[in-house]
Amino acid sequence: MNFLSSGPSPSTSHCRPVLALSLTAIFVTLLGGGNQAAQKSTTEDKAAEINARKVPQISFTQQIRPILETKCLECHDPEERKSNFEVTSLAALLRGGKKAGSAIIPGKPDESPLVQYIEGRRQPQMPKGRAPLSDEEIALFRMWIEAGAVDDSPIVDAGRDHRSGAAEPEKSRAGERGSGRAGDSKSLLNTALFSEDNEQLMILRRSLRLAMLAKPPIPPQVETVTFNPIDQFIAARWKEAGLSAAEHQPELCDDRAFLRRVYLDVIGVIPTVQETGRFLSDNSPDKRAKLVDELLARREDYAAHWTPFWEEALGSQTTRVQGGIPTRGNYRDWIFKSFANNRPFDLMVAELIDPSMPGHKQAGQINANGRIYSVAYIRSDTPTDTLQSAANVAQVFLGTGMKCASCHNHFLNEEWPQARFLAFAGLFAKSDLELVRCEKNSGKFIPAKFPFELPDAPLIARQNNVEARLHRVAQLLTDPTNPRFAKTIVNRLWKRYFGLGLFEPADDFRLDRPPSHPALLEWLADDFMRGGYDLKHTIRLILTSRTYQLRYDPKLEDHFDVVKPAEPRYYRSPSLRRLTAEQLIDSIRTATTQILEPRKRTYLDKISTALTRSLGRPASRNEISTGRPDDVAVLQALELLNGEEFNQMVYGGSILGQLARHLNDGTSANSFFYSETPPVTEQKTALAAASNNFDDVRLVSVLNALYLISLSRPASQEELSAGLRFLKSSLPPPSRRMNLAPVEEVWLDDNLPPGAKTEGGGRGDSWKWVGRPEYPVFSGTRAHTQGGDNEFSQHLVQGATTPLRIGWRDKLFTYVYLDPKNPPSEIMMQWKQSDWEHRAYWSDSDRKEGSPDPPSRHWMGPLPEKGEWVRLEVPVTEVGLKSEEGITGWSFDQAGGVVFWDKSGVVRIPIDPMLETLGDVLWALLVSPEFQYIR
């Protein structure tokens, strides 16, 4: 954007100098003094520079990483992470641990903590409790660090076939990487041979079977700039098709587009202003690769972004019965943990299917209507259950739609006669399945058999035992010689990051519908398997490719049309992708609060709303799906326009208040800029001196802040002008802007609201009024407490004739007193609208990783101070209360201890026209296509 290079310039218009001055300031702030225009023009050169960088004498992949994996990985793997330190990648080494910071300082072996630890100059000497490294090994580290500590893995080091001449170490490593288990192949073999652990056997089998694979296709030589082999395949295809892109490569996207794209793709949210600043002001040539690593290392955020996809793909449900039919159970935590720990994908899938895997997920037994059902991903209670389980596995993990073939030969896919599918499905049953054609039993049983030929593998299962059959099918499914498995998942990754798969539809791999880049697909699948079925490895490869980093261009965008499946796709531009419900909501929360709270991420929320449903998030996952349509519909638009939930998020975030204060009194809006820059107020003061219109300066900085929080960039000159016009025509003049004081309305003190009745929670609890002098009272003559002595007790009021009216911005308050001698372990309040699904609680105990924090159970913080009256406040939006209906019930709950409660009610925050106007600007930015789409 050209506005960035425009400096102060003489102008006739009144606000022009202000604009220009202020822009420069923002600009300086943004770039930390750098020059973005210059930077942008050299991105390409720098990329080429990385590419051309010489391979150092010591190879990270071939010499350093094997040592790290055999000597260090046991404790410093992604699961153990002793001292918060892992050795899985160069980025991890650079990030370092909590003790010494960055483990290596490139070029400075003596100062590198890693060298100090292995040499024993720092204690404890590493590897702790084991024999020290040999002098030769230490020397390798020193030389590698001396030479700049370069990662020569194929992602960074593009031009070279990384496997040539390194087949052996690669192969043995493939078996281990990501598995969290160290050891060379020989010790691995011995451990596994004597192990009862199917996971170990599987890892061993994987490494032996990988050795049987034919060599993958060699990335074609091309003359254009490539970052890694992916680009070679893609560029070769351009040349083959005679596209001009072969000579004139499509441009890379600018840093801002990349920043948003990669944030949304890896962790599912936009960056905060701080993060934006850090990246945009970073001038290092490999900043994009660094960012990819940084984001991939945010394991919980990464897992949070993957979880909804897999919940839908597996049909994971939080209820155990649905429509009177048992579900497959709840896999949310399992999915989250598997991705947070980057479990090798083959182990994950085996774990899902094979009951003999140590991590097998079994949701248990339930009793519905007197019947016992098993709840498991694979269900085989009836032949229909079996067929559906098998069809689901085929669809999700083999990219093959087989449902049609359940009852007859596949209509459209000759590859799948019914008998072939039934043979496959038989592997998921306790015995062979009968051929039932169009609802007529044939008396003919089809022997179970895996549908693909795998060399030297037993493809059949004769035991009449479902566990044995599932064990077998899990082996065959994930076997390296079964090409469909790896191709299906790498294609899903490709589709996730480019918008369109190498084969489409991604669930319907057909012989008669070849992928757009067969050799690339094969190469990616091969690389994925040899890399230890490591999803992050392949994701990193894709995200650091030049192809992923191309600029969005609708003229070059590919499309897929089921009617014309053979239309080629060239990937000269990514596809424009609409944000998912989770990406949108989490990003808006990030924008309006500048905090990404892992426990508040939308995927955890069990509440389905009109907004989430309209945005395509399924209300229940009763049927599996591996992707959502990114339709636009009036129903959605009405939610964005008038939906209370959406507008609450936009207008209710803390950010608007801060900006309004800045506008009012010039309070620092520093937090919207970058920490390493001088406080904005100083700049503003300087600017103000140069301007006659203090208000304009503030308006401009507020507008820029709004652009930064929402679109992760400052506003252009034209955008500032448009924004100023809008603000000036809508805002009250400065003299009439005021902060209206909040108004408190008491609902419950010494008396109940009219019509309301008190109740206990139903287990002998009751409502008990207490008074001075025996008991503490905050207001009036009495307080209340619970009357029973249950461990978990509640007392409540409900049935008020006039509901307590609330507005979006309002807060509910109460006063509470915890007995210091006998405090509770948790306190909670619940509110009733149409239901009681609105709870806020205070507790000291740490909650479990990934445990939900929906409005129906919202953690407010640790327990308040004991032995004194404390005021508690809960914003109504935090607990999902709607302003359309009032509150008719209020419950006071505690876990153990003695607790007194007093005056309760609502704090009404008056509508502030200034806040509303800023909110209108923010609304427009958050609804704008630039925010709603990934480009």
The least CB distance from residue 722 to other proteins, in Å, is: 5
Structure tokens at 648: 């609450």
Q: Report the distance separating Cα 892 and Cα 889, nearest Å.
A: 10
- Smaller CB distance to other proteins: residue 72 or 650? 650
Interface stretch with other proteins, choices 62-70, 265-273, 345-353, 387-395 (CB under 8 A): 387-395
- The smaller minimum CB distance to other proteins, of residues 665 and 835, is found at 835
**Tokens 């002793």 belong to which residue?**
82
Q: How far is the CB of 319 from other proteins (least distance, A)?
A: 4
- If one asks whether residue 835 binds other proteins (CB under 8 A), the answer comes out as yes
If binding is defined by CB under 8 A, does position 403 make contact with other proteins?
yes
| Closest distance to other proteins from the beta carbon of 649 (Å) | 12
Complex with other proteins: residue 42 or 717, whichever CB lies closer: 717
At its nearest, how many Å lie between other proteins and the CB of residue 215?
Answer: 32
Cα gap 467→635, rounded to integer Å? 47
Q: Does 606 sit near other proteins (CB under 8 A)?
A: yes
Q: Which of residues 481-510 bind other proteins (CB under 8 A)?
A: 505, 507-508, 510
Q: Report in angstroms how near the CB of residue 719 gets to other proteins at its nearest.
A: 5
Nearer to other proteins, 38 or 412 (CB): 412
Among positions 717-736, residues that touch other proteins (CB under 8 A) are 718-719, 722-723, 726, 729-730
Instruction: Candidates 104-112, 136-144, 608-616, 665-673: pick the segment binding other proteins (CB under 8 A).
Output: 608-616
Helix (H) or strand (E) holding 826: strand 826-832
Task: Determine the Cα–Cα distance for residues 218 and 162; give it in Å rounded to an integer.
Answer: 10
Cα separation, 540 vs 521, in Å, equals: 16
Using rule CB under 8 A, residue 743 touches other proteins: no
Burial 15-47 (b: 16+ CB within 10 A, else e): bebbbbbbbebbbebbbeeeebeebbeebeebb
609 touches other proteins by CB under 8 A: yes
Give the DSSP H or E segment for 901. strand 899-908
Site for other proteins in 796-825 (CB under 8 A): 807-808
> Closest separation between CB of residue 715 and other proteins, Å?
9
Question: Which residue, 472 or 935, is less far from other proteins as judged by CB?
Answer: 935
Minimum distance of other proteins from residue 881's CB (angstroms): 14
Within 839-878, which residues bind other proteins (CB under 8 A)?
856
- Is 383 a binding residue for other proteins by CB under 8 A? The answer is no
State the nearest-atom distance from the C-beta of 920 to other proteins, in Å: 5
Residue 7's CB is within 10 A of a number of other CB atoms, namely 10
Interface of this chain with other proteins, residues 634 to 653, rule: CB under 8 A: 634-644, 647, 651
629 binds other proteins (CB under 8 A): yes
Angstrom distance (rounded) from CA 132 to CA 727: 67
Restricting to residues 427-456, name those near other proteins by CB under 8 A.
none
Only one of the segments 240-248, 262-270, 400-408, 842-850 lies at the binding site for other proteins (rule: CB under 8 A); that segment is: 400-408
* 236 CB burial (10 A radius; 0-12, 13-18, 19+): buried
CB of 547 to other proteins, least distance (A): 17
The three-class DSSP label of residue 20 is: helix
Judged by beta carbon, residue 269 or residue 703, the one nearer other proteins is: 703
Integer Cα distance of 889 and 603 in angstroms: 28
Q: How far is the CB of 680 from other proteins (least distance, A)?
A: 23
Q: Are 416 and 422 in contact (CB under 8 A)?
A: no
The footprint of other proteins on residues 892-911 (CB under 8 A) is 911
Q: Min. distance of Cβ 726 from other proteins in angstroms?
A: 5
Q: By C-alpha distance, which of 618, 627, 78 is closest to 338?
A: 78
Site for other proteins in 309-368 (CB under 8 A): 317-319, 321-325, 327
Least distance between other proteins and beta carbon 155 (Å): 28
What's the closest the beta carbon of residue 251 comes to other proteins, in angstroms? 11
Nearest distance, CB of residue 243 and other proteins, angstroms: 19
Instruction: Tell me the window of 75-83, 466-474, 604-612, 895-903 that interacts with other proteins (CB under 8 A).
Output: 604-612
| Cβ nearer to other proteins, comparing 213 with 610 | 610
Q: What is the DSSP string of 578-598?
A: EPPHHHHHHHHHHHHHS---G
**Given the complex with other proteins, which of 67 and 615 has the nearer CB atom?**
615
Specify the 3-state DSSP secondary structure of 653: coil
Binding-site size, other proteins (CB under 8 A):
97
> Which part of the chain contacts other proteins (CB under 8 A), choosing from 283-291, 454-462, 602-610, 814-822?
602-610
Q: Check binding of 422 to other proteins (CB under 8 A).
A: no
Phi, psi (rounded to 5 degrees) for 857: -160, 85
Report the 10 Å Cβ neighbour count for 666.
17
Of 5, 35, 608, 654, the one binding other proteins (CB under 8 A) is: 608
Residues 6+ apart with CB under 8 A from 384: none
Note whether 35 binds other proteins by CB under 8 A: no
Distance CA 350, CA 67 (A): 29
Q: What is the CA angle 253-255-256, rounded to 5?
A: 100
In the complex, minimum distance from the CB of residue 270 to other proteins, in angstroms, rounded to a whole number? 16
Query: Pairing state of beta strands 325-326 and 577-578?
Result: unpaired
Q: How many CB atoms lie within 10 A of CB 893?
A: 21
Grouping H, G, I as helix, E, B as strand and the rest as coil, residue 56 is coil
Q: Please state the three-class secondary structure of 419-470 as a single string.
A: HHHHHHHHHHCCCCEEEEECCEEEEEEECCECCCCCCCCCCECCCCCHHHHH
Residue closer to other proteins (CB basis): 523 or 841? 841
**Stretch of 26-34, 140-148, 406-414, 527-535 lying at the interface with other proteins (CB under 8 A):** 406-414
Using CB under 8 A, pick the residue from 417, 483, 616, 896 that binds other proteins. 616
Close Cβ partners of 414 (under 8 Å, ≥ 6 residues apart):
512
Nearer to other proteins, 372 or 638 (CB): 638
Q: Which is closer to other proteins, CB of 242 or CB of 323?
A: 323
Q: How many CB atoms lie within 10 A of CB 281?
A: 19
Please report, as residue ranges, which positions from 697 to 716 form the binding site for other proteins (by CB under 8 A).
716
Window 40-59: residues binding other proteins (CB under 8 A): none
CB of 730 to other proteins, least distance (A): 7
Q: What is the DSSP letter of 672?
A: G
Relative orientation angle of helices 694-711 and 581-593, to the nearest 10 degrees? 150
Q: Which of 805, 811, 803, 802 is nearest to 742 (CA)?
A: 811
Among 163, 430, 613, 908, binds other proteins (CB under 8 A): 613
How far is 684 from 716, CA to CA, in rounded Å? 19
Smaller CB distance to other proteins: residue 167 or 911? 911
- DSSP output for 503-559: SSSTT--BTTB--SSHHHHHHHHHHHHHTTS-HHHHHHHHHTSTTTTBPP-TTT---
Q: Segment 537-596, which members bind other proteins (CB under 8 A)? A: 551-555, 557, 562, 576, 578
- Is the Cβ–Cβ distance between 113 and 122 less than 8 Å? yes
Question: Min. distance of Cβ 742 from other proteins in angstroms?
Answer: 17
